[in-house]
Amino acid sequence: MIDLQTIKNKTDILAVFEKDLGQPVKHNGKYYFWNCPLHGDNTPSLSVTPDNGRWYCFGCSKGGDIFTWMLEYHKLSFKDALRELNNGDSLPVRINQPAYKPEPKPLPADDLQEKWKRIIDVCHNNLFDTVNGLNPLLWLHERGLNNNTLQSPFWRVGYSTGATIEGIQVRRGITIPCYTVNTDLTINQVNYIKIRQPVDNPKYLHLPGGISGLYGASRTLSNCDILWLTEGEFDCLLLGQEGGDWFGGGFSDVCTLGSVTGHIDFGRNGHYFLKAKHIITVFDNDDPGDTARAEWEKLSPKVKSARIPQGKDITEYWQQGGDLAAWANQTLSDFGILAEYGL
């Protein structure tokens, strides 16, 4: 029996890419970048993260592990890729080549994109302005969110004073933009901008013209074995911030569809869920949360439902003194995921 994980573990993915493509064009922390040969890009859009053995191109949206690279770049069958990575040893079993389904390319920018990016910039600056943003910033701090999270290029949380920006009325409240990023961490495609209103009903509004998006897809979801799914954006931010080493490192990360009734746009975001080995839902402790848990569990056996032990949601649990890092670690242990990875 061939142990695919053992082959991946012993393969130096960075050395493979350097052999195929030469030295990286750019190096930023744990990320190494090359010009992508799969779609003929002349910018360093192809990223490799050696710590988790994954690669992803921000230009053509292709990515995966070392086996996917051998199939895509070298045009090998899965059997031949195994033989090549296994030092040329003959294989004792027949392995069928899996069908490869390319990931969808980002939607073309529409006439709202530049306006939305300007709105995100203006509102983000408002939040950290001592005159306009003091009260909303304190409110966010009380929910556990620190400035590093709020100012992250992946999140850019902001505050609207109720002004008209770029000809669009942006109601007063905290702005929560959902978007993808380029390799230089500038905004690529804006999916939606949500506003958390201070007192008005409904609690949340969307700027008109938005499309469905996966909040968190701009970070490391493409490389994740474990996908955590929260009910809303603030819980997503807090779990990613306080959940410990499991979040943001490429092996495991958190996202949300924006509400408990949100539906996956499989054409644009389904590949994140198909790639993940484990999907852990963390919905609110109420009737809608229970309904959503049951619906998600029907989708796949890899979906597992976790509950916050006290409080209604992740934020309340933290506010009541809960340790999200310890809880996440215990959740992975209870589901047998730590043992699966030998941790």
Asked if the model's pLDDT at residue 116 lies above 90, the reply is: yes
* 3-class DSSP assignment, residue 186: coil
pLDDT tens by residue, 282-321 = 999 999 999 999 999 988 899 999 999 999 999 999 999 9
Which residue has tokens 């902001």? 158
Both tokens assigned to 301? 């056996």
Contact 5, 52 (CB under 8 A): no
Residue 87: per-residue pLDDT: 63
The residues, any chain, with a CB within 8 Å of residue 18's CB and separated by 6 or more, are 24
Q: How far apart are the first and last CA of the chain?
A: 23
Distance CA 33, CA 183 (A): 9
Of 53-57, 62-66, 101-105, 256-260, the one with minimum mean pLDDT is 101-105
Contact 34, 25 (CB under 8 A): yes
H/E run at residue 239: helix 233-242
The amino acid at 149: T
pLDDT at 108 over 80: no
Task: Kindly tell me if the per-residue pLDDT of 94 is higher than 50.
Answer: no
pLDDT exceeding 90 applies to what percent of the chain? 47
Question: Residue 106's pLDDT is what?
Answer: 40
d(CA 241, CA 232): 14
DSSP 263: -
**The CATH classification of domain 221-340, taken from the options 3.40.250.10, 3.10.290.10, 3.40.1360.10, 3.30.1180.10:** 3.40.1360.10
User: What SS3 state is found at 240?
Assistant: helix
Do residues 75 and 66 lie in contact, with contact meaning Cβ atoms separated by under 8 Å? no
Residue 103 above 60 pLDDT?
no
Between CA 25 and CA 307 the distance in angstroms is 44
Q: Dig out the tokens for 262 from the structure.
A: 């949100």
Q: Which helix (H) or strand (E) holds 288?
A: helix 287-299
Domain boundaries of the chain, sorted by first residue: 4-85, 113-206, 221-340
Query: Domain 4-85 belongs to what topology?
Result: DNA Primase; Chain A (3.90.580)
Residue 279 has pLDDT above 90, yes or no: yes
Average pLDDT over residues 82-107: 46
Task: Please enumerate in sequence order all residues whose Cβ is within 8 A of that of 92, keeping only pairs 6 or more positions apart, or say none.
Answer: 2
Q: What is the pLDDT of residues 126-176, one digit of tens each?
A: 999 877 778 999 999 999 999 999 999 999 999 999 999 999 999 999 999
Percent of the chain scored above 70 by pLDDT?
Answer: 89
For 16-146, strand residue ranges (E) read 26-28, 31-34, 46-49, 54-57, 63-64
Q: Say if residue 220's pLDDT is above 70.
A: no
Taking the C-alpha atoms of residue 27 and residue 111, their distance in angstroms, rounded to an integer, is: 33
Q: Which residue has the higher pLDDT, 10 or 237?
A: 237
What's the rounded mean pLDDT across residues 44-59?
84
Q: Do domains 4-85 and 221-340 have the same CATH topology?
A: no
Within 10 A of 48 (CB to CB), how many other CB atoms are there?
Answer: 24
Q: Are 308 and 282 in contact (CB under 8 A)?
A: yes
If pLDDT is split at 50, 70 and 90, which confidence band does 63 have? Answer: confident
Who has greater pLDDT, 88 or 320? 320
DSSP string, 69-103: HHHHTS---HHHHHHHHTTTPPPSS--PPPPP-PP
CB atoms within 10 A of CB 2: 12
Asked if 120 contacts 189 with a C-beta cutoff of 8 angstroms, the reply is: no
Instruction: Specify the pLDDT at position 146.
Output: 96
pLDDT at position 95 is: 33
pTM, full prediction: 0.68
